[in-house]
Amino acid sequence: MAAVSVHKKSSVLRSPKARREAIAAYMFLSPYLLVTLVFTVGVFLFAIYISFTKFNLFTTPEWVGLEHYLSALQDKKFIRSLVNTLYYALVVVTLQTIFALLLAVLLNAPMRAKQFFRTIFYAPSVTSSVVISFIFLWLYLKTGYINYFFSKVFLLAGAEWEAINWLNDPRGLFQLILTPFGVDIPSSQWYLRGPSITWMAIMFQNIFTTTPTFMIMFLAALQDIPRPLYEAASIDGASKRQQFFKITVPMLRPIIFLIVVLGTIGTWQIFDQVKLLTAGGPLNTTLTPVYLIFSEGLGINGPPRMGYASSRAFILGVIIFIFTLIQRRFIEEGTEQY
């Protein structure tokens, strides 16, 4: 049978009409293939080469081998950016996944004005991240609406609210928790201080803007769960809580895996909020790998170092790949039955 299929395929290729159709098809595809070859594959291979060189955009690249990759282990700014982003990924991915699922369950339930609420909840996701960042910049000012809101709330409780400079406060979360107990975390152990107040403010912004997108994905997945499963569970006496954890969550495991992976990739690649709001400050507490790669590669704070930037970019890619494999191991395994 295999020999017959091979014979038919070869005879088709020898047909003049089939050859003309194949040539026409590749002619139509050629612009896309050419662009992909030059601007994707070509640039990728050039970036690999650059990562093994010293290159400042103006002189001939100088080969240095693995120097950039080995120096990453001793690069304090790069390690600081990785720790910052790890905190960011753990908090943002966890909370945005939970909130997206809860909102999807809420909007999937019978209710009035369902389409109106879906539109309102989804609105932040269709707004430009630049616009959202500037809106939050105004909100986070020391004289902004967030401090104003808390001052009014505290005033009603008979207390006074001390305005916080949300975008310029390097104090860490764990540091704030332990300080009242007399525990002082030295600056040399910055990684134990936790995410700074400024970093947590950016986390909140990202959760606010990305949760609606994942909510829509969860909502579509919820509508694909067969209703008879819930009806049978109700007949057996299962409560709403039991139905949620025994039916809804297991049936959503494939989409949960997708959302967690997309969220992880997005958080490790955060750039625009940092560029617009903090530029990595204060005291490097919001420094991220992508912003570091951008600033060092284009020479924002000194001469351009494209070799340095390219090597860090590939290291970041490997880290994202490893996290994806780990998530697939713990989330996706066993989802084939769904």
pLDDT of residue 158: 84
Q: Is the pLDDT of residue 7 over 80?
A: no
Q: What are phi and psi of 172, to 5 degrees?
A: -85, 160
Highest mean pLDDT (candidates 2-6, 88-92, 123-127): 88-92
Q: Is the pLDDT of residue 331 over 50?
A: yes
Q: Is the pLDDT of residue 118 over 90?
A: no
pLDDT of residue 302: 82
How far is 195 from 76, CA to CA, in rounded Å? 17
pLDDT of residue 143: 87
The model's pLDDT over 180-210, given as tens digits with 9 standing for 90+, comes to: 888 888 888 898 999 999 999 999 999 999 9
pLDDT of residue 263: 93
Higher-pLDDT residue of 163 and 15 is: 163
Higher-pLDDT residue of 235 and 17 is: 235
Mean pLDDT of 259-284: 92
Q: What are phi and psi of 328, to 5 degrees?
A: -65, -35
Reduced to 3 states (helix: H, G, I; strand: E, B; else coil), residue 248 is helix
How far is 247 from 219, CA to CA, in rounded Å? 15
| CA distances, 12 to each of 7, 15, 27, 157, 179 (Å) | 9, 5, 19, 83, 78
> Which residues does 285 contact at the CB level (< 8 Å), separation at least 6?
84, 170, 172, 195, 196, 198, 199
To the nearest whole number, what is the mean pLDDT of the chain?
87
Mean pLDDT of 80-103: 94
Mean pLDDT of 253-268: 91
> Which residues does 114 contact at the CB level (< 8 Å), separation at least 6?
107
The model's pLDDT over 122-150, given as tens digits with 9 standing for 90+, comes to: 888 888 888 899 999 999 998 888 999 99
pLDDT of residue 335: 53
The model's pLDDT over 18-73, given as tens digits with 9 standing for 90+, comes to: 888 888 888 888 888 888 888 888 888 999 999 999 998 888 899 999 999 999 88
DSSP-derived secondary structure for 164-232 = --GGG---BHHHHHHGGGT----GGGGGGS-SBHHHHHHHHHHHHHHHHHHHHHHHHHHTTS-HHHHHH
Helices assigned H by DSSP within the chain: 2-14, 16-36, 43-50, 67-71, 76-108, 114-122, 129-140, 145-156, 173-178, 197-222, 227-235, 240-243, 249-251, 253-268, 272-277, 289-297, 306-327
Q: Which amino acid would we find at residue 228?
A: P
Model confidence band, residue 2 (pLDDT cutoffs 50, 70, 90) = very low
The closest of 304, 293, 303, 314 to 77, measured between CA atoms, is 293
Q: Is the pLDDT of residue 334 over 60?
A: no
How far is 263 from 327, CA to CA, in rounded Å? 11
pLDDT of residue 70: 92
Considering the chain, what percentage of its residues have pLDDT values greater than 90?
Answer: 45
Q: Is the pLDDT of residue 300 over 50?
A: yes
List domains and CATH numbers for the chain: 2-50 (no CATH), 70-337 (1.10.3720.10)
Model confidence band, residue 333 (pLDDT cutoffs 50, 70, 90) = low
pLDDT of residue 170: 92
Cβ proximity of 286 and 196 under 8 Å: yes
pLDDT of residue 177: 92
Mean pLDDT of 98-124: 85
Alpha carbons within 13 angstroms on the beta-carbon side of residue 239 total 2
Mean pLDDT of 106-130: 82
Model confidence band, residue 332 (pLDDT cutoffs 50, 70, 90) = low
Residue 53, beta-bridge partner list: 63
pLDDT of residue 10: 52
